[in-house]
Amino acid sequence: MDRRRFLSLSAGALAAYGQEKPKRVGLIGTGWYGKSDLFRLIQVAPVEVVSLCDVDKTMLSNCADMVAQRQVSKKRPRTYANYQEMLREGDLDMLLIGTPDHWHALPFLEACKSGVDIYCQKPVSVDVTEGLAMLNAARKYKRVVQIGTQRRSTPHLIEARDEIIKTGKLGKIAYVEVYCYYHMRAKDRPATPAVPSELDYEMWTGPAPMRPWNGLQHPRRWRAFEEYGNGIMGDMCVHMLDMVRWMMDLGWPVKISSTGGILIDPGSVANIPDTQEATFDFGEVKVIWTHRSWGHPPDPKYPWGATFYGEKGTLKTSVMSYDFEPLDKGQKSIHRDVKMELEEYPIDKTEKDLERHVAPAIRGHMKDWLAAIEKRSKPVADIEQGFISSASCILANLAMKTGRTLRYDPVQHVVTGDSEATKLLTRAYRKPWQHPDPKKV
């Protein structure tokens, strides 16, 4: 979707929304990014948030208070500790899922059956089979699903795609580096406290393996543990890999390989790799991922981003900016910074923990979702695109674990010639939770 069509669709959808009864919205997962997503939706459409769900009573109540302050009706939404009870009310048009990754699939599937359109945070799932079940359910029940890979709706990155890559300024692109050098892996060895009284840790754990509580799992630091997600690969690579696929119109990688491990910090309780490289081979295009949660980034201006190497120049992209450097010295370099829209949305200036540079992208992503709902079409980060990017990152972790190059068959849904890796596409669920079957959604 080019920028002109994107803006036209957004304006048309919002005009239609202004003439109708506000869409009824629910949110599951009222923590950091759940609220960030919900509040950006409130900023761009006259929705009515009617229900919230979380297993943390304090977090849930605080979010309900904030919603009452922000939405037009000033009504305080209903609150639930169980997503099934919330969905049984049957009064939602739209649902946002902002839970930890291990809790994406089951609420998503229930929401599809309930006839609700869905905005789900990335990555789609913690295993490949979950993601396939989610894709199948979305198609079966004809749901409009937007995945939170909002680089596809980041204004300066849309410009980089349209004005640099699509116009051929880079020429043929054969090699792309994607990377993250943030020191984001937990290094703590905390004393084990008691589970907070406001948290239902049994329900928080859900289908994941039950780990002893150590104080890091909640809130926000669950990403340090492979039981709940897919590490930095599943958290940060999925954004940049998805962005590259979108910018270059790439589908599934032909093969994936990866190496790495815990090379620097074996003393912390975190069990995700602190160092990892992966090659996503798309045939004529190789996309190479690197993360280190230690040391300096090669370019301090681009600690998390993607660098496109073309025969005519180089394009560096990140959430903060992009830089185009042509090989032909007769051409001009191009630099753009993110526009944060703080004057247009002054409440962004004071919202706690908001990534202000990302807020415009979330708003754009919400507008695109609303336009797709209006037309019953696929949004820019449709569930299928989210599944491909998420599954590719999961496969990279499995490639590192097995020590083998993996070739995933997206038609047969197996790792070609590797029965052991095929079994790893499905994680075991903790009882009594039942792992979804993609054939029976």
Q: What is the pLDDT of residue 187?
A: 87
Contact between 212 and 347 under an 8 Å Cβ cutoff? The reply is no
Half-sphere exposure of 190 (CA within 13 A, CB side): 12
Give the C-alpha distances (Å, rounded to integers) separating 219 from 30, 36, 166, 261, 401.
10, 15, 41, 25, 28
- Quickly state the pLDDT bin for 19 (edges 50, 70, 90): low
Q: What is the pLDDT of residue 191?
A: 74
Q: Would the pLDDT of 17 be above 70?
A: no
Q: Would the pLDDT of 160 be above 60?
A: yes
- Residue 203 token pair: 């329900």
- Quickly state the pLDDT bin for 188 (edges 50, 70, 90): confident
Q: Nearest Cα to 236, choosing from 173, 163, 289?
A: 289
Q: Would the pLDDT of 190 be above 80?
A: no
Q: Would the pLDDT of 279 be above 90?
A: yes
- Residue 74 token pair: 């000033």
Whole-model pTM: value is: 0.94
Rounded to an integer, what distance in angstroms lies between the CA atom of residue 102 and that of residue 428? 12
- Quickly state the pLDDT bin for 11 (edges 50, 70, 90): low
Q: What is the pLDDT of residue 6?
A: 45
Contact between 354 and 348 under an 8 Å Cβ cutoff? The reply is yes
Contact between 8 and 370 under an 8 Å Cβ cutoff? The reply is no
In sequence order, what are the beta bridge partners of 315? 308, 324
**pLDDT tens figures, 59-92:** 999 999 999 999 999 999 999 999 999 999 999 9
The total number of residues shown for the chain amounts to 441
Mean pLDDT for 9-15 is 51
**pLDDT tens figures, 131-148:** 999 999 999 999 999 999
Mean pLDDT for 185-200 is 87
Q: Would the pLDDT of 9 be above 90?
A: no
- Residue 298 token pair: 């090669």
**Token pair 């393996």 in the structure block, residue:** 209
As to burial, measured by CB atoms within 10 angstroms (0-12 exposed, 13-18 middle, 19+ buried), residue 312 is: middle
Rounded to an integer, what distance in angstroms lies between the CA atom of residue 189 and that of residue 210? 19
Rounded to an integer, what distance in angstroms lies between the CA atom of residue 92 and that of residue 51? 8
**pLDDT tens figures, 363-417:** 999 999 999 999 999 999 999 999 999 999 999 999 999 999 999 999 999 999 9
Q: To the nearest whole number, what is the mean pLDDT of the chain?
A: 95
Rounded to an integer, what distance in angstroms lies between the CA atom of residue 91 and that of residue 235? 32
Q: What is the pLDDT of residue 265?
A: 93
**pLDDT tens figures, 196-251:** 999 999 999 999 999 999 989 999 899 999 999 999 999 999 999 999 999 999 99
Rounded to an integer, what distance in angstroms lies between the CA atom of residue 59 and that of residue 53? 10
Mean pLDDT for 298-314 is 98
Helical H runs in 353-412? 359-375, 383-402
Q: Nearest Cα to 23, choosing from 2, 1, 38, 45?
A: 45
Which phi and psi angles does 335 have, rounded to 5°? -130, 135
* Count of C-beta atoms within a 10 Å radius of residue 376: 10
Q: Would the pLDDT of 180 be above 60?
A: yes
Contact between 226 and 376 under an 8 Å Cβ cutoff? The reply is no
As to burial, measured by CB atoms within 10 angstroms (0-12 exposed, 13-18 middle, 19+ buried), residue 375 is: middle
User: Considering only 117-126, 184-193, 344-353, which range has the smallest mean pLDDT?
Assistant: 184-193
